[in-house]
Structure 1
Amino acid sequence: MYFKRIFTPGLSHYSYMVGDGGEIAVIDPMRDVGVYIEEARKANKKITHIFETHRNEDYISGSMELSEKTGAEIYISKYEDLGHVYGEKIGEDDEFRIGKLRIAPIHTPGHTLGHLSYVLYMGDVPYMAFVGDTLFWGDLGRTDFYGEDRLVEMTAHLYDSIFEKLFSLGDHVLMMPAHGAGSACGGAIEERDCSTLGYERKENPALQVDSKEEFVEKHSYMRLKAPYFEKMELCNVEGAAYLPGEVISNVLSLEDIQREDYTVVDIRSREAYSGKHIERSIFTSTKILSAYLGWIVDTEDPIVLLVDGLKDEELKTAYWTARRMGYDNIVGILGEGTVKSLEIEDTGLKSTKEIGAKEYLEMHREMLVLDVRREEEVEEDYPYMNRLNIPLQLLKERVGELSSEKEIAVICGSGERATVACSIMERAGIDGTVVAGGVKGIASQLKDRD
């Protein structure tokens, strides 16, 4: 048996290749498909099947391009008609042979109505379950994509899919999700490399309930949905432009960006951005790019990446992450020496003000405190007078609620999201002060005082 898991950095997405004899099946391929073709060549096998668990919302699928380049058939769910222009529709009455392996789809609705999981059998014994966005390591798929009116219905479907269908396969079955820790598709995915259905049944915090009613009550809630998801949904039924195999991004000059209306996205570290950055640039470091770019920058905007001081691998990760999310208008980069040149010219740069937790505790009564954490993260036991909670994901559309009459202290968990928030505020003409260390630093200070 051949098996390979392909990890997509930036998006924390997993796709899979399984095979036997001279054949390979690919499950949930990412947009840039060269890696699958290369791995199949190395294994001396032919890609013959492409299986999709569901229409993805957070990245563009590579199924159409991979099919065109390999001749493999694409298989999609027959349980929901989304208007796909590609794919043969399949369901639980179908099964597929890959050499001596048997792959059987099972209908696991909840995350979406048509969601399929794929069970890989070794002989007559279920060995692996490719569960898509139904279940994650330590978490489970969201159920709110059909709106609040159908939330309870979809969450009930998810319970049945997990407890009645997946768990009936046996505790020994290896569980292969479509995402790992850091993905926008889960709020609490654990940092692990493997799991079984039995382990998740016993240890997954989201599954520790006594009844279906308790599960539905616990998990029926609406979540924030990034604006770029709408483009992903469209691309993943109608198809998207194929990607080139190399990074295509011109090195631009300062004069270039001054002449054009580009959005400069600063992907350097938080410390580098805070020290000196191009005025009105958006900050989102490479490690949080996939989580927040889709909330701040429109997919059609012409983007310039500021990569001054970064390694080439960091640039590549950011570039491919953005392209996989549908950002196809990356017009260029600002490279080594950009910030230094602006320093010498003494023009076009700003710094982000920061204060430590100790200073914040001394000053917060005179400040407006902007807390950019999600509502479920916010606690009431810290001394936040004059606090306004606007989750970072919503700040761009709600920045008009801020007033510049008081100094604005911006807090999050550690300071990273607060810095992103200050870059959004700066574009709106509002200054913000980052509380370095965030609530973790504040908690430490309060503990020391006790």
Structure 2
Amino acid sequence: MITVLPVETPGLGDRTYLAHDGSVALVVDPQRDYDRVTALADAAGVRITHVFETHIHNDYVTGGLALAREVGARYLVNADDEVSYERTPVRDGQVIEVGDTLRVRAIHTPGHTHTHLSYALQAGGEQVAVFTGGSLLYGSTGRPDLLGPDHTDTLVRAQWRSARRLAEELPDETAVYPTHGFGSFCSATQATGLASTIGEEKRTNTALTADEESYVAQLLAGLDAYPAYYAHMGPANSGGPGKPDLSAPSVADPAELRRRIEAGEWVVDLRDRTAFAAGHLAGSLNFGLDGQFVTYLGWLIPWGTPLTLLGESAADVAEAQRELVRIGIDRPAAMATGGPGDWAGGEPLAAYERAGFGDLKAALAGDDDFVVLDVRRDQERAEAHIPGTVHIPIHEVPGRLDEIPAGRVWVHCAGGYRAGVVAALLHARGRDVVAVDDSIDNALGLGLCPATPAARS
């Protein structure tokens, strides 16, 4: 019996897979913190003998090389990928024997990258699964624009052909196991569902139901911005990242925290946005662990800026560290635990208001002079927006601060998380802010947005 176990990384919207026959195992697309995979293998009593990469990843730093070295497994990467480490090169059509029962066939499926491979898994002569990486996703495909505009047209058309190749060569009952598509910005459009088969994708996936031109037009129209840290992932993965260091950083006292803030370093409070708004260390920023912490911190931080983490507990800091190493932010400069009173060392705490869209509507009807800042992405804004608001997508805010008019700023997004991030950023720079912590659906219901609902945060 073949068992396929997904290892979820919800902060990045990805999955790693461990597949085994009860004796030996293979791993596909392991995240940097691969101790989760080895723990799963140990619990199942299986030995990892092969580690496969579907592609050189753009949204995270791989743990594949370090995992393979630690457990003595073969590390399989496309022979055409230019990497600086020794690996077992694999090409289209090659079949790899894994133990006595598992056979893996490499299938060249360009589209997300030029050298992307999918891996079709056979057991007992039957096709049981295909690991599709950033090719065929649930109801979608991987985006084709991450290598730059010069490659997008070639890759989007290759992606359509790759999806069709998988559908033509594999039986309908073949289980589909993509790496991306669970919230990852590597997905061209929002993927649907948590499980699927080739047959189901034939019925529902635009890449398999639409003609090439319709697919291309629809996919390209759905592309939006992706995190800035993606630019650093490919080089890191081609260079061969090592095992992450998850040991605790040094502890900073209030004086050191103040010094770091005054030096322009990032001191990040990991508490939720409600607690942060009520009272926090002046000058600190807020990326709560309750939201897309690593995506937005990695997107906004100037790469290489020293980072200090503030958590209510050491466990919170450890959780943040684990998420950060996945995108190559390996060692925080320092940490502190407890609460804002502990971190401020007797100095007054900073705070700002939170409000709902009902409060905003009432304020708009009054005489107060303020600006409303919408920090959602362009496509969300196009679907529905409050007339008269200033629009700067969250990832552009740090570089466009001078475009935000003077005076009080009400910040909103679609659900509250991004508004909290930006409110903290502006408040740390001396702006008077109100964070709108509410669902955009309520703005629609109140008549503030005369259109259809925007995407959620």
TM-score w.r.t. length of structure 1: 0.89
Question: Is contact 2:143–2:188 with CA below 8 Å preserved after alignment?
Answer: no
Q: Displacement, 1:425? A: 2.0
Whether the 8 Å contact between 2:370 and 2:408 is mirrored in structure 1 is yes
Q: Could you tell me which amino acid in structure 2 is paired with residue 294 of structure 1? A: G
Question: How far apart are the structure 1 equivalents of 2:302 and 2:65?
Answer: 25
Provide the C-alpha distance between the structure 1 equivalents of 2:139 and 2:46, rounded to a whole number of angstroms.
Answer: 34
Q: Specify the SS of the correspondent of 2:379.
A: helix
Q: How does 1:320-335 map to 2 (within 5 A)?
A: 320-335=322-337
Counterpart-to-counterpart distance in 1, 2:343 and 2:72: 51
Query: C-alpha distance in 1, partners of 2:200/2:418?
Result: 33
Question: How many angstroms apart in 2 are the aligned matches of 1:194 and 1:381?
Answer: 31
CA distance in 2, matches of 1:20, 1:153: 39
CA distance, structure 1, for counterparts of residue 280 and residue 183 of structure 2: 26
Match of 1:372 in 2: 375
Letter in 1 for 2:139: G
2:447 aligns to what SS in structure 1?
Answer: helix
Native 8 Å contact 1:414 1:441 kept in 2 = no
Once the two structures are superposed, the pairs formed by residues 209-220 of structure 1 within 5 Å of their partners are 209-220=209-220
Distance, in Å, in 1 between the alignment partners of 2:12 and 2:228 is 16
Letter in 2 for 1:142: R
Do 2:377 and 2:394's aligned partners in 1 also have CA atoms closer than 8 Å? yes
- Partners of 2:136 and 2:142 within 8 A in 1: yes
Are the equivalent residues in 2 in contact too, given 1:174–1:197 (CA < 8 A)? yes
Are 1:279 and 2:255 an aligned pair? Answer: no
Partner of 2:267 in structure 1?
A: 264
Which residue does the alignment assign to 2:415?
414
Range that drifts further, 433-442 or 267-276: 433-442
Counting only pairs closer than 5 Å after superposition, residues 222-241 of structure 1 correspond to structure 2 as 223-241=224-242
Aligned position for 2:453: none
CA distance in 2, matches of 1:339, 1:427: 15
Q: Answer yes or no: is the 8 Å Cα contact 1:167–1:197 preserved in 2.
A: no
- Is residue 96 from structure 1 mapped to residue 99 from structure 2 by the alignment? no
CA-CA distance at 1:48 after TM superposition? 1.6
Does the 8 Å CA contact 2:83/2:240 hold for their aligned counterparts?
no
Letter in 2 for 1:62: G
Q: Which amino acid aligns with 2:236?
A: C
- Any unmatched runs of 5+ in structure 2? 451-457
User: Partner residue of 2:120?
Assistant: 119
> Which position in structure 1 is the counterpart of 2:87?
87
Report the Cα distance in structure 2 between the residues aligned to 1:111 and 1:395, rounded to whole angstroms.
28
Structure 2 residue matching 1:181: 3-state secondary structure: coil
Which residues in structure 2 correspond to 1:164-179 (within 5 Å)? 164-179=165-180
Unpaired segments of 5 or more residues in structure 1?
A: none
Partner of 2:390: 388
Q: In 1, Cα distance between the equivalents of 2:161 and 2:405? A: 48
Structure 1 Cα separation of the partners of residues 106 and 255 of structure 2: 55
CA contact (8 A) 2:249 2:331 kept: no
Counterpart amino acid of residue 96 in structure 2: F
Q: CA deviation at 1:127?
A: 1.0
Say if 2:253 and 2:343, in contact at 8 Å, map to a contact too: no
Q: Structure 2 CA distance, aligned partners of 1:343 and 1:48? A: 51
- Give the equivalent residue in structure 2 for 1:402: 404
Q: Could you tell me which amino acid in structure 1 is paired with residue 19 of structure 2?
A: V
For residues 83-132 of structure 1, give each alpha carbon's deviation from its aligned partner in whole angstroms, at most 9, with x where no partner exists.
34232221123101122121101011101000000000133332101000
Separation (CA, whole Å) in 1 of partners of 2:40 and 2:362: 58
1:422-433 mapped onto 2 (5 Å cutoff): 422-433=423-434
Q: Deviations over 1:268-314 (max 9, x none)?
A: 11101111122222211112112201122134222111212x5x554
Shift in Å at residue 69 of structure 1? 1.4
Whole-angstrom distance in 2 between the partners of 1:55 and 1:172: 28
Shift in Å, 1:148: 2.2
Cα deviation code 1:386-429 (max 9, x no counterpart)? x222111221122222121x432211102211111112223444
Give the letter aligned to residue 290 of structure 1.
Answer: V
Kept after mapping to 1: 8 A contact 2:355/2:435: yes
Equivalences for 1:132-143 in 2 at 5 Å? 132-143=133-144
For the Cα contact (< 8 Å) 1:29–1:63, is it kept in 2? yes
**Identity score, percent:** 26
What code does the residue aligned with 1:8 have?
T
Taking a change above 3 Å as real, the CA distance of residues 101 and 381 of structure 1, as seen in their structure-2 partners, is closer
Judge conservation of contact 1:299–1:328 (CA < 8 Å) in 2: no
Quickly say closer, same or farther: Cα 1:75–1:208, change in 2 above 3 A. closer
Q: 1:332 to 1:389 in 2, by over 3 A?
A: same
Matched, 1:303 2:304: no
Do 2:224 and 2:379's aligned partners in 1 also have CA atoms closer than 8 Å? Answer: no
Report how many aligned residue pairs link the two structures: 440
CA distance in 2, matches of 1:131, 1:219: 18
Q: Distance in 2 between matches of 1:105 and 1:355?
A: 53
Cα deviation per residue 1:320-378 (whole Å; 9 max; x = unaligned)?
Answer: 00111111231332211x3134678242x211223332231233374322111111111
The secondary structure found in structure 2 opposite 1:150 is helix
Instruction: Kindly report the root-mean-square deviation, in angstroms, between the aligned alpha carbons of the 2 structures.
Output: 2.6
Structure 1 residues 36, 437: closer, same or farther in 2, change over 3 A?
Answer: closer
> Does structure 2 retain, via aligned residues, the 8 Å contact 1:184–1:290?
no
Structure 2 length as normaliser, TM-score?
A: 0.88
The residue aligned with 1:352 is 352
Q: Which amino acid aligns with 1:115?
A: H
| Residue 343 to residue 88, structure 1, CA distance change in 2 (3 Å) | closer
Look up the SS of the partner of 2:400 in the other structure: helix
CA distance in 1, matches of 2:331, 2:45: 36
Distance 1:200 1:367, change over 3 A: farther
Partners of 1:328 and 1:413 in 2: how far apart?
A: 31
Stretch moving more, 215-224 or 48-57: 215-224
Identify which range, 188-197 or 20-29, moves more after superposition: 188-197
Contact 1:9 1:317 survives alignment (8 Å): no
Assess, with a 3 A threshold, how the Cα gap between structure 1 residues 167 and 393 changes in structure 2: closer, same or farther: farther
Secondary structure of 1:149's aligned partner: helix
Q: Please report how far the alpha carbon of residue 197 of structure 1 lies from its aligned counterpart in structure 2 after TM superposition.
A: 2.1
